[in-house]
Structure formats: C-alpha cells, structure tokens
A = this chain, B = another copy of it.
Amino acid sequence: MAIPIVLLGCGTVGRALALEALALGDRLRFLAVLDSSGGVVDPSGIPVGRLREILALKEKGEGLGAAGLAWEEALAAVRALLREGRGVVVDATASEGTVGFLLEALEQGWGVVFANKRPLVGPWEDYRRLTSSGRLRYEATVGAGLPVIAVLNSLLATGDEVYRIRGILSGTLGFLLHRVEEGIPFSQAVREAMARGYTEPHPAEDLSGKDVARKALILARTLGLPLELQEVAVEPLCPPEMGELPVEEFLEELLPLDVKMQRRLEQARKRGSALRYLAEVSPAGCRVGLMEVEWESPLARARGPENVVVLETRRFRKHPLVISGPGAGSASTAAGLLADIVRLGGSSRR
C-alpha cells in the first residue's frame, strides 16, 4: 500500500525526495505538491509523468501556480484532502509560517515529516503542540540522512540518560576549521568553501552559527529541555553586522580575522587540543561555538565536510556512541525524510 504524501516545498530537497520516491516505485503516492506560488493537487495521486513534468518545471525555476492551482485554491484542495484520508505531510520549505497548517494536519490524524527546521525552533509551546501527537518526525533536520534523532529517540525510549551531546553539525564549518588547521588563512578557507559550493550564497549565514544553533536546540528539545532559541549561547565566527555587507566586501573584511583565528588555534595546540566548531547540549544548557577537543576524540578526527555526533549517556559513558557521515546535501536529506515517512507510514496503516 502506497503512503499518501502532501509535499510542501519543491526546492532541491523536495525534488530529491520526489526523485527517490520515483526510484522506489509505488511506495509513496503524491497527492499534492505545493510551492509558494501554488500547487498541483490530485486526490487519486499525481501520475508519474505529471510528477516528472512538475520536477522539470521547478528545475527551470518556474512556480507551480502557473502549472496548477493558484495558492488559495491549492490550499483549499489540500485541506479537503486532509479531511478525506490519512497520510504524511512533508515540510520541505524554509518557512516559519507552516506551523498552523501542520497542526491542522496533525489534528486530522496525518503524520508530519520535517526537513524544515524553523517550525521546530519557534516558541517551546509550538514545539510541544507539534510533537504531542506522536506523529511528527524530523530526522532530516539534524545531520540530514544520518540517524541522529532515531538513535537518540531509541536511547530515550529505552530509559537511557543522556549526559552530553557534542557534534560537528555544520560540514561547512568543519571543513573551514580543518583547512585553518592545515595552515590556510581563515579568509582564504572561506573562499575555498564557497568555490566548492559548501556555503550558503552569502557565507556570513554559515559563519553566524545560527543554523548550528537551530540544530542544537532541536537536539535539546528532543531531550525534553524546554529551551528557546535565544537561550542557546552562540559564538559567531564573524561579527554579526558583517552579514549586511555585499559578499565581495564581506570576504575582504574577513582578512583581519585570519590572525585571530590562527592565535586561537595555536592556543588550543599548546594545550594539546584541536579546535572545532561544536554544538554542545546537556541538561545544563546548550551552546554553539569554537571549542577545544582532545586529539583522540572522534570530533578532532573529523576532516572533511562530514558531520560527527558524539553521544555520552549512562550506557555509553566510557566509550561514547558516535555517528558520522555526510550531514548535508539533498540526497542525504531525502534519505532522512524517507526513513521518517516509512516509519510513520507503517504506523499510520494500523
């Protein structure tokens, strides 16, 4: 039996999910695909050929409103779907505005799967309302397709106690720090990361640490800690106001930071440590920034753009549980979404 899907957002992640689903055959059935301009809705399932057309349109940068229903009509059609059946809504947007709609879907008995972090890092009360149904999953929001949330949930469900989570949750910043360690000036390493396509269009977005803070908050909330985003202590890698500068100017302004970063690294080395940009989550709180780690730690051994998550728990104390691998990219994110969809789809068929 195919799992009915309503897909919100059809950017790189949404498209990667649709492509994976097509490769899977008839395991998923897309009833609706929406973007910010409108969408295509078909209660009996969008035929494969039509779905491919939609993906091709989006690839070319076109909106779905022109190809299908305009926004208001599409939303009304999807609301009718919610009332008529059961399935899974996938939030692959980058919007903060989906919470209300997703709560409606949960109330109607649908499952909800997130690639979008923003609804999960709003007020704690929203998070609590979203998760209280037990039909919400968000594996892809931390470490993309790496099974970080699944493993954490399994530990919690079996009565383990989490003492501390430390993670390299930005492959981009992991790459930067490793290059600086190899002797490349910080500003040059940023240019290199840009050239490889590792950064956001404006690299200040990565250097702000905000996205890592969102992931740290999601981990903390998964542990049951009722924290707000502003309670996550964030050390940005450049002054926040620099984000206002045009990219080229921004890169110029990074030069004075080269010496500062070099000095931090040398201090760490003198203490026999490596310098990493980490998220640290424990019952005591949540912080994100440059931290020193023992050379023997799996966190120090990280080189490239991978993510590394180290879980220290009552059961995994002397030797922690470590998960590492590609923590970004649309294929890996789609893998995380699919895992959640299959888990929810399995239980919604009860």
Contacts and interface: CB of A to CB of B under 8 A. Distances in A.
Interface of A: 20, 23-24, 27, 145-147, 150-151, 154-155, 157-160, 296, 298, 301, 303-306, 315-316, 318-326, 331-332, 334-335, 338-339, 341-343, 347, 350
B339 A154 contact: yes
A315 B24 contact: no
B316 A332 contact: yes
Contact of A319 (B27, B304, B322): B304
26 contacts: A23-B159, A24-B158, A147-B147, A147-B151, A150-B151, A154-B339, A155-B335, A155-B339, A157-B339, A157-B342, A158-B339, A158-B342, A315-B331, A315-B332, A315-B334, A318-B326, A319-B325, A319-B326, A320-B325, A321-B324, A321-B326, A322-B322, A322-B325, A323-B323, A324-B324, A347-B347
Contacts of A151: 147, 150
B316 A321 contact: no
A234 B335 CA distance: 34
Contacts of A303: 296
B301 A301 contact: yes
A296 B296 CA distance: 14
A139 to B, nearest CB: 9
A155 B252 CA distance: 44
Contacts of A320: 325
Given A27-B159, A150-B150, A154-B150, A319 B306 contact: yes
Contacts of A338: 158-159
A88 B231 CA distance: 43
Most chain B CB neighbours (cut-off 10 Å) among A315, A326, A338: A315
Given A154-B147, A324-B298, A350-B350, A160 B316 contact: no
A297 B322 CA distance: 15
What's the number of copies of this chain in the assembled complex? 2
B159 A321 contact: no
Contacts of A334: 315
Contacts of A323: 321-323
A283 B323 CA distance: 24
Contacts of A315: 145, 331-332, 334-335
Given A145-B321, A298-B324, 13 more contacts: A20-B158, A23-B159, A146-B321, A147-B147, A147-B150, A147-B154, A157-B339, A157-B342, A158-B342, A305-B319, A318-B326, A321-B323, A322-B324
A350 B346 CA distance: 12
B20 A316 contact: no
A326 B335 CA distance: 26
A316 B145 contact: yes
B325 A316 contact: yes
Most chain B CB neighbours (cut-off 10 Å) among A24, A27, A147, A319: A319
